[in-house]
Amino acid sequence: MSWLAAATLDIPTEPTQQALGYPSLFLLVLIGALVPVVPTGALVSSAAVVAMHQTVPFAMLMVFATASLAAFCGDMALYWLGRRGVGSKNGSRWLEAIRSRAPEDRLEQAQDKLAEHDVAVLVLSRLVPAGRIPVMLACLLAEWPLRRFARGNLPACLAWAVTYQLIGVLSGALFSKPWEGVAAAIALTVLVSVAPGVWRRLRGPAKA
């Protein structure tokens, strides 16, 4: 962990952090919304830890605004690309990518919940690990227009940003050094992400 401590101790000045940090956070969260290779929750939590140790005003608010806007833009871009695939005779690679990330059982659950609770399901989908894509695909298959999806996705992205920022605040409050808070935030976000899957495996298949 010494490399992480050294990297955090050599942090640039706060104006430099803001000039580089917020655009980087926006870009990485945006990419993570499109392609699930970036741990976006851990990024937001870590950024919140760093913001807690800054003296500039509104640092926490900037993290929240940047993360939620990037998540919203990424979701809307992916949904738009998916709608193009639904409307196309031969589909699209984006639609196939969304389908490949939504197992049939999760998709069926998402469709049932969407039919029952409508837009409210979108808010919960971003807070449940691996819940966003099945619900998005359910909206695509139900042929929701982009505007209707946006109405539900906006509060979903706001709730998501708040949740992971609070994880960062909790982690930062437990430790005095920024690198320790960042490490704790990453550990907590990983735990939150894997816990539901582990629980489902331990519980086994649902009985009829």
Beta-carbon contacts of 94 under 8 Å, excluding residues fewer than 6 positions away, are 78, 81, 82, 84, 85
Cα–Cα distance between 70 and 51 in angstroms, integer?
18
Q: Are residues 122 and 152 in contact, defined by beta-carbon separation less than 8 angstroms?
A: yes
Q: pLDDT value at position 145? A: 93
Q: pLDDT value at position 197? A: 52
Q: pLDDT value at position 9? A: 46
pLDDT tens sequence across 84-112: 888 666 667 888 888 888 888 889 988 99
The pLDDT confidence band at residue 1, using thresholds 50, 70 and 90, is very low
Q: pLDDT value at position 168? A: 86
Average pLDDT, the chain: 79
Residue with tokens 């909206």: 139
The pLDDT confidence band at residue 199, using thresholds 50, 70 and 90, is very low
Fill in the amino acid letter for 64: F
Q: Does pLDDT of 169 surpass 50?
A: yes
Percent of all residues in the chain with a pLDDT value above 70, rounded to a whole number: 70
Cα–Cα distance between 89 and 38 in angstroms, integer?
31
Q: Which two tokens stand for residue 145?
A: 């227009």
The DSSP code for 92 is -
Q: pLDDT value at position 7? A: 42
Nearest to 131 by CA among 105, 104, 102: 102
Fill in the amino acid letter for 38: V
pLDDT tens sequence across 109-156: 889 988 888 888 888 888 887 889 999 999 999 999 999 999 999 999
Q: Does pLDDT of 208 surpass 90?
A: no
Fill in the amino acid letter for 50: V
Cα–Cα distance between 195 and 198 in angstroms, integer?
5
Q: pLDDT value at position 175? A: 65
- Please compute the mean of the pLDDT values over residues 15-32 and round it to a whole number: 80
